[in-house]
């Protein structure tokens, strides 16, 4: 014979409050409230646990920042030296540009100089240049003056002095040339 099936026995009397709207809400809040409390505790435990994770991550990031700051600080001396070198380079560039202008002026003077002209002195400055020398003929001196007048950016030509040296048979001269300034 099969065992007798036991029925469910409820020793608490049924109350009408349990079936009222307020009772149902209260019963629901007690059963669901437990779930909400468990979920809230779970979220709090996750937040507490994640605090350790984020603290470690923050410390790692601070270490990386400190390392990179040390690298940047180590380059400060290199940067200072580089700035000094660049400042010196600007001075050297200016000097070289002036010397190139000097070289160009000397090259220009040598191109316009006839064969029978010899110079005793060539002076070049920012305002222009001066030529002092001797010429074997009047044509050579005229050719030199014409060539000087045809130089680009010539502001003026002043013949300082011309005289004939009878002992050597040459014409001595002094020419001052002023140049127009060009903006660079």
Q: What is the mean pLDDT of residues 153-164?
A: 88
DSSP-assigned letter for residue 151:
S
Q: What is the pLDDT of residue 24?
A: 86
**Domain co-membership, 102 together with 31:** yes
**Domain co-membership, 91 together with 108:** yes
Residue 101 has pLDDT above 80, yes or no: no
Please check whether residue 131 is in contact with residue 172, taking contact to mean a CB–CB distance below 8 angstroms.
Answer: no
Average model confidence (pLDDT) across the chain: 86
Q: What is the mean pLDDT of residues 116-137?
A: 89
pTM of the model: 0.47
Residue 183 has pLDDT above 60, yes or no: no
- Provide the domain count of the chain: 2
Nearest-angstrom CA–CA distance, 109 and 37: 101
Q: Which residue has the tokens 């002043």?
A: 158
Out of 53, 81, 112, a domain closes at: 112
Out of 65, 93, 112, a domain closes at: 112
Angle between helices 138-149 and 21-112 in degrees, nearest 10: 170
Q: What is the mean pLDDT of residues 168-183?
A: 85
More confident residue, 109 or 117: 117
For the ranges 109-113, 129-133, 151-155, the one whose mean pLDDT is highest: 129-133
**Domain co-membership, 99 together with 33:** yes
Is there a domain that residue 13 lies in? no
Q: Which domain holds residue 124?
A: 115-179
pLDDT in tens, 18-65: 788 888 888 888 888 888 889 999 999 999 999 999 999 999 999 999
**Domain co-membership, 77 together with 104:** yes
- pLDDT band for position 2 (50/70/90)? low
Q: What is the pLDDT of residue 48?
A: 92
CATH classification at residue 167? 3.30.70.2830
More confident residue, 124 or 116: 116
Q: Which residue has the tokens 């099969």?
A: 2
Out of 72, 91, 112, a domain closes at: 112
């Amino acid at each position: 014979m099969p065992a007798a099936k036991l029925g469910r026995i409820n020793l608490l009397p049924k109350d009408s409050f349990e079936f009222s709207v307020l009772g149902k809400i209260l019963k629901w809040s007690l059963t669901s409230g437990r779930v909400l409390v468990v979920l809230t505790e779970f979220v709090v435990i996750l937040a507490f646990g994640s605090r350790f994770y984020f603290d470690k991550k923050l410390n790692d990031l601070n270490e990386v920042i400190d390392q990179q700051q040390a690298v940047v600080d180590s380059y400060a001396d290199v940067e200072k030296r580089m700035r000094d070198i660049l400042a010196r380079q600007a001075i050297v560039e200016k000097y070289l540009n002036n010397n190139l202008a000097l070289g160009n002026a000397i090259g220009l003077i040598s191109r316009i100089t006839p064969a029978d002209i010899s110079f005793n002195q060539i002076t070049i400055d920012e305002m222009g240049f001066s030529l002092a020398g001797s010429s074997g003929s009047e044509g050579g001196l005229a050719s030199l003056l014409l060539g000087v007048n045809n130089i680009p950016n010539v502001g003026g030509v002043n013949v300082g002095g011309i005289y004939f040296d009878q002992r050597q048979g040459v014409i001595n001269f002094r020419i001052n040339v002023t140049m127009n300034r060009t903006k660079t």
